[in-house]
Chains A and B, each alone.
Chain A
Amino acid sequence: MATLLLEIGCEELPAGACYEAEQQLPVLAEREFGAAPDRLFIGPRRLALRFDDVPDQTPDEWIKGPPLELREKAAAGFAKKHGVGADDLVERDGFLGVERPGRPLRDVVPERLDAIVRGLSFSKSMRWDDSGIRFSRPVRWRLAKLGSESIVGTTSFGHRFTAGAIEIPAADAYEESLRAAGVEPDASERRRRIVEGLDAIGRWSDPAGVLDEVVHLVESVLVLEGSFDERFLELPERVVVTAMQSHQRYFPLGGNRFAFVANGGEPDLVRAGNENVLEGRLDDASFTFERDVGVGIDALAERLGAITYFKGAGSFADKTERLQRLASELGGGEATLEAARLAKADQASELVREFPDLEGYIGAEYARLAGYPEAVSAAIEEQYLPDASGGPLPQTESGKVLAAADKLDALATSFSLGHRPSGSRDPYGLRRAAIGLNRLAVEGGLVVPRSLLPDEVRGFVEERLEGLLDLPVEFVRAARASAVADLGGVAALARALYEERESDAFEGVYTAYDRAHRLAERAAEDAAQEVDRELLKEDAERALADGLAQVEVDGDVRRALESGATLAPLMERFFDEVLVMDEDEAVRANRLRLLLDVRDVLGRLGDFSQIPR
């Protein structure tokens, strides 16, 4: 048994590629060496694996060939295929085969390391020479150490600027050798030290989530703190934070301070340089901000005709018109309609062109600076909420309406262009939009008329409701088939039906619906157009018709169930006393219609056939 170390030396890999390699290396190692590595070292300049106990010899191999009785026919072909003579075939358990003795590990390491290099696949890869290898960035060295023996290559490399080529005396000395050469090869250790350094500085934040990337932007961890001129605090806070994070991968510390992680250098020099760069970025952002403010949000809104929403979906001016119409249909008041008019104005701003993440937020800032009331500005700011699973909803009424209008339009427009999400692909974020719309209705209490949703969209949105509500899906499906006019109402009905599922009233309605549904559905085409009271001959059927006229199912669900349940005894009597399939065709058609009416009236409470009993 021996310790084996493999190192793939690269030019600086992107963080994304490091994570891809981290996923794939154990699988590739298993395939090539029959065991997962004991240690994995992932970083921008090297991917390394260490196996603590590898057998010195690969196992003997037995390649099973044809059965003995087919020796005449098949032996020669099989032997040729495996590069041996027919006489060299060995008999075992009634079969011919080839015996391949195991090979010394040192002989197979080069080819298996090569197979690992070639086996890694990256979402973006390149070539750099004629080796035929595609990799995220060029591979510049390989090293394999078996114990203290070099099998592939002879040296590794330490920190790019403070250490050159280094000796790794033995496989199990890999980490300490690199640490002595200014490199921390273990990504989790780098992460730990970054977090420790940030914690030591103070209350840091990472709203854009750059830490995962920063771990792979350094081989050596130097956490530093810097500050910038306080005059930039006059900029909207998120502009400052975005400039820090999106370009520079800094961690805001609040106020005019920030932390960052360097790969080395003299702290004072490196800090001064970074402070200078950030002030330049902020100065530039100030220029851009002032220019946008100088133009003003109203003038920005007028430029939307020149900006395409997305291909086939018209301009942002078209989108604005649709938003205004939807906002009005959703019952939006004056502030909401004003917000709808200005909602997309920031798409024409220079700052959003620079920092797309600031959409909505910066439009709201511009609206405030132009003196619009807070209800307008807040709605503009909240229009993209909820923007994450479980994320917060808009707090203002105008924000809820605008957020719903935005999602409704995104869904309707995308579906009309045939952009349905398929599998895991959802480039237009339609699942998130549908879930957001449901949450606005269910949790936000916003009345979203179902009639505003085109059929296909309605189906898509309401399917999401099934996953969102903590109820058996049958009840949601039943409620979806009801006559309830709004999305939140569907959810409320589903919940009420579920809560009432054991009550007598529910039982009564369920039974009545079920009997009417079963019989009438089978003979639906024979039913009359409408019930003719003249043709109701029996008392029991007249009683059912009268009872049906009294039933009130729209409104409070419990009262509706009680009202609907009054039909249960009438139905029972009807089936006892009346023969639906009368010989007289007109009478029969009339009775079938009466039953269909019972089903349809009760069906306004939902499709009870969805609910198993």
Chain B
Amino acid sequence: MPRAFFPRIGDLAVPTYQDTIRALEGYWADYGCVLMQPYHTELAAGTMNPATFLRSLGPSRWKTAYVEPVIRPLDGRYGENPYRFQHYFQYQVVIKPAPADVLDLYFGSLEAIGIDLRRHDVRLVEDDWEQATLGAWGLGWEVWCDGMEITQWTYFQQLGGFDVELVPAEITYGLERLTMFLQGKGSAFELEWAPGVTWGEVYRQSEREWSAYNFELAPVDVLTRRFGEHEDECRVLLERLLPLPAYDQVLKASHVLNLLDARGALSVTERAAYIGRVRDLAREVARVYLELEADGDAAA
């Protein structure tokens, strides 16, 4: 396997945040992944990108890798806590079906970004993944490097309530944790994003402002109405057999739910009910997507 796409990484004393992303891009592109770009609406996890969620369904082979900004309103801390953000980045890799040497492939990527596996303590620690809003679950691990959780690793088993036909491996690198480890930093704000520019300089103000919006200003009544509108629109689109735009409505409804949650507008029971509504939509989208794919009509 060629690992020379980004040869400079080996020469660097400390790779920047963007060096690490470039090295991952190079490694997975060389492996044959389609390099996707971040999706155009708010996602709480790279898994929700249709390039993972929908492409993991059905019988078609698929390999992709991409950076995904994840938006989790509830996790914002006004830029004060260097471990919690309402907006951060994942590097997402999906290989479907997972080849027998998929773990070795993954460990190869760690070497490609400058982790010497013989000098560090890299381990796979049980972590079973479940996402209620997507009706999805899988088994896998969190990957520890000297105690730092740098990756979530999952073999999908069900998505949208459907058993996967070919079992994909999903590899989700937490880019902040990973680069904190690589740069030996105790705070994400101190990470060197590019030479001379820190992560904090790029995003701290954004954390402050978005935390204020998420926790204090997001309009609850408008959001509540919007949730219903996204739900309705999703169903209309499904009737027209357009699962891809319908899926965007699921994503938007899911984000609205997360905002309502951050605003403290939902009791536990209400929250569970909203999650159930998003899950129902996700199941319907998955069902229609699979039907179309079976008919050979799905946009490939």
The B-contacting residues of A in range 123-165, CB under 8 angstroms, are 124, 126-129, 136-138, 140, 160-162
Contact digits for A371-385, partner B, Cβ 8 Å, 1 yes 0 no: 000000000000000
User: With A280-B186, A284-B84, A287-B80 given, is the CB distance from A274 to B146 under 8 Å?
Assistant: yes
Interface residues of A (CB under 8 A from B): 11-12, 14-16, 44, 124, 126-129, 136-138, 140, 160-162, 217-218, 222, 248, 260, 262-266, 269-270, 272-274, 276-280, 283-284, 287, 306-308, 311, 315
- Provide 17 A-B residue pairs closer than 8 Å at the C-beta atoms, listed in order of the A residue: A12-B141, A16-B126, A128-B167, A129-B97, A138-B155, A160-B122, A217-B125, A218-B123, A262-B146, A265-B122, A265-B146, A270-B121, A273-B181, A283-B186, A284-B84, A287-B83, A308-B267
Decide if B167 touches A273 in the complex (CB within 8 Å): no
Chain B residues with Cβ below 8 Å from A277 are 146-148
User: With A262-B121, A266-B119 given, is the CB distance from A126 to B184 under 8 Å?
Assistant: no
User: With A126-B139, A127-B157, A287-B81 given, is the CB distance from A308 to B269 under 8 Å?
Assistant: yes
Interface centre among B118, B126, B138, B269 (most CB of A within 10 A): B126
Chain B residues with Cβ below 8 Å from A278 are 147
Q: Is B219 in contact with chain A by the CB < 8 A criterion?
A: no
- Our pick among B121, B126, B155 for the contact of A14 (Cβ within 8 Å) is B126
- Our pick among A11, A273, A274, A283 for the contact of B124 (Cβ within 8 Å) is A11
Cα(A312)–Cα(B186), bound, Å: 44
Decide if A270 touches B146 in the complex (CB within 8 Å): yes
Chain A residues with Cβ below 8 Å from B107 are 160-161
Decide if A306 touches B147 in the complex (CB within 8 Å): no
Chain B residues with Cβ below 8 Å from A273 are 120-121, 145-148, 181
Chain A residues with Cβ below 8 Å from B100 are 129, 138, 140
User: With A273-B146, A277-B147, A308-B267 given, is the CB distance from A126 to B138 under 8 Å?
Assistant: yes
Decide if A279 touches B147 in the complex (CB within 8 Å): no
Decide if B118 touches A306 in the complex (CB within 8 Å): no
Chain A residues with Cβ below 8 Å from B81 are 284, 287
Given A136-B139, A160-B122, A306-B268, 7 new contacts (CB under 8 A): A44-B124, A161-B122, A222-B121, A266-B120, A270-B120, A270-B146, A287-B84
Decide if B122 touches A306 in the complex (CB within 8 Å): no
Decide if B117 touches A126 in the complex (CB within 8 Å): no
Contact digits for B96-111, partner A, Cβ 8 Å, 1 yes 0 no: 0110100100010000
Q: Is B216 in contact with chain A by the CB < 8 A criterion?
A: no
Contact digits for B258-294, partner A, Cβ 8 Å, 1 yes 0 no: 0000001001110000000000000000000000000
Decide if A126 touches B80 in the complex (CB within 8 Å): no
- Chain A's closest residue to B264 (CB) is A306
Q: Is B232 in contact with chain A by the CB < 8 A criterion?
A: no
Decide if A161 touches B118 in the complex (CB within 8 Å): yes
Cα(A14)–Cα(B123), bound, Å: 12
- Our pick among A138, A217, A274, A279 for the contact of B186 (Cβ within 8 Å) is A279
**Closest CB-CB distance, B159 to chain A, in whole Å?**
14
Decide if B167 touches A274 in the complex (CB within 8 Å): no
Chain B residues with Cβ below 8 Å from A11 are 103, 124
- Our pick among A44, A162, A217 for the contact of B118 (Cβ within 8 Å) is A162
Chain A residues with Cβ below 8 Å from B267 are 306-308, 315
Q: Is B252 in contact with chain A by the CB < 8 A criterion?
A: no
- Chain A's closest residue to B104 (CB) is A160
Chain B residues with Cβ below 8 Å from A140 are 100
- Chain B's closest residue to A126 (CB) is B139
Cα(A128)–Cα(B165), bound, Å: 10
Chain A residues with Cβ below 8 Å from B148 are 273, 276-277
Decide if A269 touches B146 in the complex (CB within 8 Å): yes
Cα(A128)–Cα(B122), bound, Å: 23
Cα(A459)–Cα(B32), bound, Å: 67
Cα(A279)–Cα(B77), bound, Å: 19
Cα(A138)–Cα(B148), bound, Å: 24
**Closest CB-CB distance, A146 to chain B, in whole Å?**
26
Decide if B157 touches A126 in the complex (CB within 8 Å): yes
The A-contacting residues of B in range 138-196, CB under 8 angstroms, are 138-139, 141, 145-148, 155, 157, 167, 180-181, 184, 186
- Chain A's closest residue to B167 (CB) is A128
Cα(A124)–Cα(B147), bound, Å: 25
- Chain B's closest residue to A303 (CB) is B264
**Closest CB-CB distance, B227 to chain A, in whole Å?**
19
- Chain B's closest residue to A284 (CB) is B83
Cα(A279)–Cα(B82), bound, Å: 12
Chain B residues with Cβ below 8 Å from A287 are 77, 80-81, 83-84
Cα(A234)–Cα(B126), bound, Å: 32
Q: Is B209 in contact with chain A by the CB < 8 A criterion?
A: no
Interface centre among A266, A269, A280 (most CB of B within 10 A): A280
- Chain B's closest residue to A218 (CB) is B123
Decide if A137 touches B139 in the complex (CB within 8 Å): yes
User: With A265-B121, A270-B120, A308-B268 given, is the CB distance from A128 to B146 under 8 Å?
Assistant: no
Cα(A395)–Cα(B118), bound, Å: 52
Decide if A15 touches B126 in the complex (CB within 8 Å): yes
Cα(A266)–Cα(B118), bound, Å: 8
Q: Is B128 in contact with chain A by the CB < 8 A criterion?
A: yes
Chain A residues with Cβ below 8 Å from B141 are 12
User: With A274-B146, A280-B186, A284-B84 given, is the CB distance from A127 to B167 under 8 Å?
Assistant: yes
Cα(A140)–Cα(B102), bound, Å: 11
**Closest CB-CB distance, B118 to chain A, in whole Å?**
5
Cα(A268)–Cα(B186), bound, Å: 17
**Closest CB-CB distance, B204 to chain A, in whole Å?**
15
Cα(A315)–Cα(B186), bound, Å: 39
**Closest CB-CB distance, A440 to chain B, in whole Å?**
30
Cα(A218)–Cα(B146), bound, Å: 13
Chain B residues with Cβ below 8 Å from A308 are 267-269
Cα(A264)–Cα(B184), bound, Å: 20
User: With A273-B145, A273-B148, A307-B268 given, is the CB distance from A283 to B125 under 8 Å?
Assistant: no
Cα(A284)–Cα(B180), bound, Å: 15
Cα(A269)–Cα(B147), bound, Å: 11
User: With A283-B186, A306-B267, A308-B267 given, is the CB distance from A265 to B125 under 8 Å?
Assistant: no
- Chain B's closest residue to A220 (CB) is B121
**Closest CB-CB distance, A573 to chain B, in whole Å?**
69
Chain B residues with Cβ below 8 Å from A128 are 98, 155, 167
**Closest CB-CB distance, A233 to chain B, in whole Å?**
18
**Closest CB-CB distance, A142 to chain B, in whole Å?**
13
Cα(A266)–Cα(B126), bound, Å: 24
- Chain A's closest residue to B163 (CB) is A127
Decide if A283 touches B181 in the complex (CB within 8 Å): no
**Closest CB-CB distance, A475 to chain B, in whole Å?**
46
Cα(A278)–Cα(B119), bound, Å: 20
**Closest CB-CB distance, B35 to chain A, in whole Å?**
25
- Chain A's closest residue to B138 (CB) is A126
Interface centre among A218, A269, A272, A279 (most CB of B within 10 A): A269
- Chain A's closest residue to B148 (CB) is A277
The A-contacting residues of B in range 70-92, CB under 8 angstroms, are 77, 80-84
The A-contacting residues of B in range 112-135, CB under 8 angstroms, are 117-126, 128
Chain A residues with Cβ below 8 Å from B146 are 262, 265, 269-270, 272-274, 276-277
Decide if B119 touches A265 in the complex (CB within 8 Å): yes
Cα(A306)–Cα(B268), bound, Å: 7
Chain B residues with Cβ below 8 Å from A12 are 123-126, 141
Cα(A441)–Cα(B207), bound, Å: 53
Cα(A270)–Cα(B181), bound, Å: 11
Chain A residues with Cβ below 8 Å from B145 are 273
User: With A265-B146, A270-B146 given, is the CB distance from A126 to B155 under 8 Å?
Assistant: yes
Cα(A161)–Cα(B122), bound, Å: 9
Return the 3 tightest CB-CB contacts between A and B, nearest first: A273-B146, A14-B126, A274-B147
Cα(A161)–Cα(B121), bound, Å: 9
User: With A260-B147, A265-B119, A266-B119 given, is the CB distance from A283 to B82 under 8 Å?
Assistant: yes
